[in-house]
Structure 1
Amino acid sequence: MKKRKLGSTGIEVSEMAFGTVALGLPYGLGIEHESQLLPEDQAIQLLQTALDQGVNFFDTARQYGKSEALLGRAFRQRRQEVIIATKCTHLRRGDHTLPSEKALAAAIERSLEESLDALQTGYVDLLMLHDGDEEIIRHSGIKKIFEQYKKEGVIRATGVSTYTPRETRAVMDSGGWDVVQVPFNLMDQRQAVLFEELEQQGMGVVIRSVLLKGLLSERGQELHPALKEVAQHIAAYAPLMEASGLRLPQLATKFVLSFPQVSSVLVGIDRMEYLREALDTVAGKALEPEFFEQARNAAFKDPDFLNLHNWSVQGWLK
């Protein structure tokens, strides 16, 4: 497993990061109940196998159910071998307003303490804002709290998980953040316009939604009629898959790893077979330049439509 620099943090991470959300709560296409989650002993074995195979970067969050606790149990004897990224609890209140600066500080402190306890560690390698919107990103008080924890050595690096290029731009403009985690994939390539500037600023770039919650895999073959254009677009990747000799999830992952500014690609894994497939994909040859260019020109025409939360609300995901 190759390593890449996480921006200018001094941290080196595996090209593939292990996304743990699906270990901690029902997540992804076709997963609706906790009964479908991997049993805890098998989840721990899966995490340890990933580390044994060279994956050293693991992504979790306070909001990801029991995933932090699983990581804690899996790696309490091997803490120095892993890079753990977690995200603090959501900061907005029920009415979507932000609490006072004092209350924000208390919420972040409580969230970090709970993460450290669950992870069975004295520090976190990367602490991120979860779903940072522009107001939160530009909030000087929040940034100072993160910076103080970094000075104290409780966290090694700070970051923000964003959704839109505008939010990512806000992270860059506000300064002081080390890493940004963004959604980016074959169909939604909007964030790519910022990659070079992020690199110039020394920021680590972690990519999530590489497979669009399984849409760009075998799980996404039968879609709701309202998603007809999406299904047709996915089917149109067939000639590129045939020419490159790659299955869709392999093509999707190799495409993102072809961007040199990318530090690591998050792959959600909740089964041993998915780990093996992801490892084989990353270990194989890089995507040929001609196929990379074809993929760059094959983004979905309306990326704003690719909002899986809205699809779920509409009842389009089963």
Structure 2
Amino acid sequence: MEKATLGRTGLRVTKLGFGAMEIRGPRVWKGRPVEDSEAERILHAVLDAGINFIDTSYDYGRSEELIGRFISGRRNEFFLATKCGCTLVDCGDHDETPHVWTRDNLLHNIDTSLKRMKTDYVDVLQLHGPTVEQAEEGRLTDVLKEIQATGKVRWIGISSYLPHLPSYIRSRDFDTFQIPYSALEREHEQWITEACGTGAGIIVRGGVGQGEPGIGRGSAERWAVWEAAKLDELLEEGEQRTGFLLRFTLTHPHMTTTIVGTKNPDHLTENIRHAEKGPLPADVYEEAKRRLDALALR
């Protein structure tokens, strides 16, 4: 499994990471039911395959609890990232997840996350999408550094997007940035490069377009971009669309790792197979970007 250095953290992470939101269960954001046996099987399969970067969050339903239950005994085999600023509010048949941007909530988040995951520390603690105003009002970067000083967190990061991302990049406060990106969602393509230029590691989410409609969580509107650009013409024989998307994401010269989630071991095997093929050939990558750029100019 190919690895890259996660910016100034120095962590050597696999370029294919695992997004543990897919084992959140049905109470959060209409997730699919997940049996304990399914979670145990997929988490061990991830580590057995050599993937060494797992991303989760306080508000990903059962995700942290299942990580702690099933692979805390293998903690030395993987780097662990979670997110804070979150809540889980019981609303009867589901949980709501409003953010609360206070020092007390961030301290509660990290202590609860460590307890759930049965670990003394996380490698990366990320703010979960605050606006610049919320971050400034709550002095959230200072709180992250306070937590870091306790040893509960090795490095600090943020999961963000436009229009807030440029301000966070200019601040140079963060060791990692988690940014949405794929061939079907290229708004942040240049900002990945800008963030990398600060010495930060880049964690890409949504790198396979969230899967095809009806199979994953991808939207028909997003996949209409694929059709309009006629990207099927660029597929190798037998190559799947999501495999091409994954390789497109891996070809970005400034990404470090992309977190792809599944609870299906067969899908995990397919993701690994595509990732092991490495970046797209240079001519295919440039042609795909040319077609996508032409659409944007219409």
TM class, shorter-length: 0.7 to 0.9
Distance 1:241-1:41 versus aligned 2 partners, 3 A rule:
same
- For the 8 Å contact 2:210–2:218, the answer to whether it is kept is no
Matched, 1:280 2:278: no
* 1:50-65 matched pairs, under 5 angstroms: 50-65=46-61
- For the 8 Å contact 2:56–2:83, the answer to whether it is kept is yes
Partner of 1:11: 11
Matched, 1:210 2:186: no
Partner of 2:283: 290
* 1:132-151 matched pairs, under 5 angstroms: 132-139=130-137, 141-151=139-149
Matched, 1:238 2:232: yes
Cα distance per residue 1:258-298 (max 9 Å; x no partner):
12211101101111111101111111243100111122234
- For the 8 Å contact 1:62–1:88, the answer to whether it is kept is yes
Amino acid at match of 1:198: A
Distance 1:135-1:288 versus aligned 2 partners, 3 A rule:
same
- For the 8 Å contact 1:188–1:299, the answer to whether it is kept is no
For 1:201, what is the secondary structure of its paired residue? coil
Q: 1:193 aligns with which of 190, 193, 218?
A: 190
Deviation at 1:41, TM superposition (A): 1.8
Q: 1:106 aligns with which of 95, 104, 107?
A: 104
Cα distance per residue 1:90-134 (max 9 Å; x no partner):
38xx9x9976xxxx1111111111100100011111110112222
Farther off after superposition, 140-149 or 47-56: 140-149
* 1:148-227 matched pairs, under 5 angstroms: 148-164=146-162, 166-215=163-212, 219=216, 223=220, 227=221
The CA distance in 2 between the partners of 1:106 and 1:218, in whole Å, is 39
Partner of 2:22: 22
Partner of 1:130: 128
Amino acid at match of 2:203: V
Deviation at 1:82, TM superposition (A): 1.1
- For the 8 Å contact 1:21–1:67, the answer to whether it is kept is yes
Amino acid at match of 1:296: K
Taking structure 2 as the reference length, what is the TM-score of the superposition?
0.86
For 1:190, what is the secondary structure of its paired residue? coil
The CA distance in 2 between the partners of 1:217 and 1:192, in whole Å, is 27
Deviation at 1:180, TM superposition (A): 0.5
Unaligned runs of 5+ in 1: 303-318
Distance 1:135-1:298 versus aligned 2 partners, 3 A rule:
farther
Distance 1:291-1:79 versus aligned 2 partners, 3 A rule:
same
Amino acid at match of 2:5: K
For 1:297, what is the secondary structure of its paired residue? helix
- For the 8 Å contact 2:85–2:99, the answer to whether it is kept is no
RMSD: 2.9
Distance 1:234-1:216 versus aligned 2 partners, 3 A rule:
farther
Taking structure 1 as the reference length, what is the TM-score of the superposition?
0.81
For 2:178, what is the secondary structure of its paired residue? strand
Distance 1:27-1:211 versus aligned 2 partners, 3 A rule:
farther
Partner of 2:263: 270
For 2:119, what is the secondary structure of its paired residue? coil
Deviation at 1:58, TM superposition (A): 0.5
Amino acid at match of 2:34: L
Distance 1:231-1:8 versus aligned 2 partners, 3 A rule:
closer
Q: 1:39 aligns with which of 22, 31, 35?
A: 35
Q: Matched residues, percent identical?
A: 25
Amino acid at match of 1:14: T
The CA distance in 2 between the partners of 1:110 and 1:97, in whole Å, is 13
* 1:296-315 matched pairs, under 5 angstroms: 296-299=289-292, 301=295
- For the 8 Å contact 2:178–2:203, the answer to whether it is kept is yes
Partner of 1:249: 242
Aligned positions, number: 286
Amino acid at match of 2:122: V
- For the 8 Å contact 1:38–1:271, the answer to whether it is kept is no
The CA distance in 2 between the partners of 1:97 and 1:72, in whole Å, is 23
The CA distance in 1 between the partners of 2:115 and 2:4, in whole Å, is 29
Unaligned runs of 5+ in 2: 88-95
Deviation at 1:59, TM superposition (A): 0.7
The CA distance in 1 between the partners of 2:153 and 2:36, in whole Å, is 27
- For the 8 Å contact 1:138–1:174, the answer to whether it is kept is no
